[in-house]
Amino acid sequence: MTVPRPPEPIPGARLLFSLDPSVSHLNHGSFGAVPIAVQRAQQRLRDEMESNPLRFFTQGLVDRIAHARRHLATFLGADPDGTALVGNVTAAAAVVLQSLALRPGDEVVTTDHGYGAVALSVARECARTGAVSRTLPVPLSATDEELVEIVRDGLRPGRTRLLIVDQLTSPTARLFPTSALVAAAREQGVPVLVDAAHAPGMLPTTVASVGADFWVGNLHKWAYAPRGTAALVVAERWRGRIQPLVVSWEQDAGFPTRVEWQATLDYTGWLAAPVGLFTLRSLGVDRVRAHNAALAAYGQRVVGDALGVAPERLPEPGGPAVAMRLVPLPPGVATTMDAARELRARIADRLGAEVSVAGWNGRGYLRLCGQVYNTPEEYDRLAVRLPTLLARG
Ligand SMILES: Cc1ncc(COP(=O)(O)O)c(C=O)c1O
């Protein structure tokens, strides 16, 4: 079987990170990795904060956050006035859910490719308000057209108060046709929240082109920002209704400041986040995207090959820029969340490789990412050693 050639490495890129060189870090998607320059920038801001906390918090911090927000929103192709910085996508989704003021009889519709913690948040908000949630099953092999049809048929105008779809799904690494899904929901008057946790830095799509009512994305994954840096983008007609999870002193300032200002927190990550974009731009955004997607595709093929998965049975991500790819595990392996966690830990301990493992609809999947610090040899090594590890059970 011929495996596609891996991409040319980006020389020196690994040295930008402080990752343990004895480990293959093949799971950038879960928690990202912060370049050393970004860590240093955040540390400098922390030093400034600790040199005079009163001055740091009371003299200009709100404006500095607004400045960082405008810069980050512009990179995302979002309206800066409709963008709030938040700690992470999980929090951003919770802000939207509790701002909707759901009532008994309302429903929130999701798909079975959605992120687990967001699904738990939907469940809690529904339990609290008397609304219900409905999960639409979408086969892994569904085409974009089929996917849009499933979602269109699954909405109940007048009852469905929110549709949540993921731009790039976590358990299945599948690119959803978000603009088409938003358009289908809009025909029926259903608002849409797009969970774009992986989009910033990885996907070329702008937030404006998705056209969602609510768009939430992490900058701390593929945009090299310090952890705790995410964006909540809200369409104009909803902005007045958005309430923060925690009310603080900027409550009367309205959106977005009332959402951003959450009392005494460490905001230095947001202020350092532009250095992440600077790093990405210095490497070349398009070059990084092409490299990472090609490397993930290479990894999928070599590991899939080692596990005896025919190339046509390797799930297609749905677009060229996707830097996360799935490899189906043998039937019966890692089919539950506990078994998936156990296998992930075993691969880390025994093979020195950090990967994501998830059970989805009765099948276990390995998810491999590509990043500028990865090399083809890391996937080759995993491919050589994984079959034996799985055979030992
Ligand atoms: C699709 C999706 N949504 C939400 C999240 C949650 O991100 P965070 O932990 O930053 O809130 C993730 C994290 O991997 C994700 O993949």
Instruction: Say what percent of the chain tops pLDDT 90.
Output: 97
Instruction: With beta carbons less than 8 A apart as the criterion, state whether 296 and 370 touch.
Output: yes
CA of 58 to the centre of ligand 1 (A): 32
Looking at residue 1, what is its pLDDT? Answer: 55
* CB 347 within 8 Å of CB 389: yes
CB 353 within 8 A of CB 23: yes
Q: Average pLDDT of 138-158?
A: 97
Which pLDDT band holds residue 316 (cuts at 50, 70, 90)?
A: very high
pLDDT at 59 over 90: yes
Residue 393 clears pLDDT 80, i.e. is over it = no
Question: Is residue 324 a contact partner of residue 168, using CB atoms and an 8 Å limit?
Answer: yes
pLDDT digits (tens, 9 = 90+) for 226-273: 999 999 999 999 999 999 999 999 999 999 999 999 999 999 999 999
Q: How confident is the model at residue 330 (pLDDT cuts 50, 70, 90)?
A: very high
How far apart are the C-alpha atoms of 40 and 276, rounded to whole Å?
A: 11
DSSP 112: T
Ligand 1 atom closest to Cα of 90? 11
Closest-CA residue to 221 (of 108, 369, 326): 369
Mean pLDDT of the chain: 97
The binding-site residues of ligand 1, defined as CB within 6 angstroms of any ligand atom, are 30, 88-90, 115, 117-118, 166, 170, 195, 197-198, 218
Tokens of 174: 């599948």
Q: Of the candidates 309, 277, 274, 271, which has an alpha carbon nearest to the alpha carbon of residue 386? A: 309
Q: What are phi and psi of 96, to 5 degrees?
A: -65, -50
CA of 115 relative to ligand 1 center, distance in Å: 7
User: Residue 72: pLDDT above 70?
Assistant: yes
* Residue pLDDT, tens place only, 203-228: 999 999 999 999 999 999 999 999 99
Tell me which of 27, 89, 219 to substitute to probe ligand 1's pocket, judged by most ligand atoms within 8 Å of the beta carbon. 89
Residue 2 has pLDDT above 80, yes or no: no
- Burial (CB < 10 A; 0-12, 13-18, 19+), residue 219, is buried
Look-up of token digits 């991500």: 317
Measure the CA–CA gap between 174 and 230, rounded to whole angstroms: 21
Q: What is the DSSP string of 149-202?
A: HHHHHH--TTTEEEEEEESB-TTT--B--HHHHHHHHHHTT--EEEE-TT-TTT
Instruction: Report pLDDT for 359.
Output: 96
Q: What are phi and psi of 168, to 5 degrees?
A: -135, 120
Give 3 Cα–ligand 1 centroid separation in angstroms. 31
Tell me what pLDDT residue 360 has: 97
The answer to whether residues 193 and 109 touch, using CB atoms and an 8 Å cutoff, is no
Sign of torsion, CA 156 115 299 308? negative
What is the pLDDT at residue 5? Answer: 87
Is 70 exceeded by the pLDDT of residue 124? yes
